[in-house]
């Protein structure tokens, strides 16, 4: 696996807390990057993929990363293969925008998913057109609505998720709740130890 390199974007502590605890993981414009083996989102019940690439989707849409997923909101491009659904249990709900795309049509016609005309408005808050030089290379950026987090700039959310993967790659694994509690207890014990040592020093 190729090593992910940081783009030196500051990783928000609030983002880390959200992404590790949320039941509704949103991923925006995930590209061709690989996924560190230690990445797992055990709390996630719903996964929303917004404007992600075929390779990015293939890399991250895996039950080893999302072991307890119930719903996949697929707001992205057609994948290279139409067998993505076979990676997951048949009980997983696939939801698509009401668009005429081959993958969306295949999944709904085969009974593996359904279309929802309101799904785009639920997650896409605002779309801004960006003109390139002399009016060429026109593109756009999105503000996205993250459940239990709020409305954020999509590019910022994309960079935060990438930097989070770099962070996990460096850290080695995602701490479980029990590990986090133990780590906090150890910090308190160490702090109390230092306080006791200082209290025992005679400054006179």
197 found inside a domain? yes
3 found inside a domain? no
Query: Is residue 115 located within the same domain as residue 151?
Result: yes
182 found inside a domain? yes
pTM of the model: 0.78
6 found inside a domain? no
Query: Is residue 128 located within the same domain as residue 188?
Result: no
Query: Is residue 164 located within the same domain as residue 185?
Result: no
- Does the pLDDT value for residue 201 go beyond 50? no
pLDDT tens digits, 84-121: 899 999 999 999 999 999 999 999 999 999 999 999 99
- Number of domains the chain is built from: 2
User: Residue 40 belongs to what domain range?
Assistant: 13-173
Query: Is residue 145 located within the same domain as residue 180?
Result: no
49 found inside a domain? yes
Query: Is residue 195 located within the same domain as residue 124?
Result: no
pLDDT tens digits, 132-147: 555 555 567 899 999 9
93 found inside a domain? yes
Query: Is residue 168 located within the same domain as residue 180?
Result: no
Query: Is residue 112 located within the same domain as residue 185?
Result: no
Query: Is residue 95 located within the same domain as residue 127?
Result: yes
Query: Is residue 144 located within the same domain as residue 49?
Result: yes
68 found inside a domain? yes
Query: Is residue 181 located within the same domain as residue 105?
Result: no
Query: Is residue 129 located within the same domain as residue 202?
Result: no
DSSP string, the chain: -PPP----PPPPHHHHHHHHH-SEEEEES--S----TT---TT-SEEEEES--HHHHHHH--TTTSTT--EEEEESPPPS-S-GGGGS-TTPEEEE-S---HHHHHHHHTTSEEE-TTHHHHHEEEEEEE--GGG-S-EEEEEEEETTTEEEEHHHHHHHHHHHHHHHHHH-SPPPHHHHHHHHHHHHHHHHHHHHHHHT----
pLDDT tens digits, 156-190: 999 999 999 999 988 754 555 555 566 566 557 66
Query: Is residue 20 located within the same domain as residue 95?
Result: yes
7 found inside a domain? no
């Amino acid at each position: 696996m190729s090593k992910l390199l940081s783009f030196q974007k500051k990783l928000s502590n609030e983002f880390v807390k959200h992404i590790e605890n949320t039941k509704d993981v949103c991923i925006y414009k995930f590209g061709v990057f690989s996924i560190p083996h230690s990445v797992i989102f055990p709390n996630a019940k719903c996964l929303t993929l917004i404007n992600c690439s075929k390779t990015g989707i293939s890399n991250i849409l895996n039950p080893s990363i999302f072991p307890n997923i119930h719903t996949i909101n697929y707001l992205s491009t057609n994948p290279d293969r139409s067998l993505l659904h076979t990676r997951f249990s048949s009980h997983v709900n696939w939801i698509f925008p009401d668009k005429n795309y081959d993958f969306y049509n295949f999944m709904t016609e085969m009974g593996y998913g359904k279309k929802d005309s309101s799904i785009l408005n639920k997650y896409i808050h605002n779309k801004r057109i960006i003109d390139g030089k002399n009016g060429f290379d026109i593109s756009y950026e999105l503000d996205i609505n993250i459940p239990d987090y709020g409305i954020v700039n999509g590019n910022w959310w994309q960079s935060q998720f990438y930097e989070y993967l770099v962070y996990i790659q460096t850290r080695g694994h995602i701490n479980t709740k029990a590990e986090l509690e133990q780590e906090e207890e150890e910090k308190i014990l160490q702090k109390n130890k230092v306080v006791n040592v200082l209290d025992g020093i005679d400054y006179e």
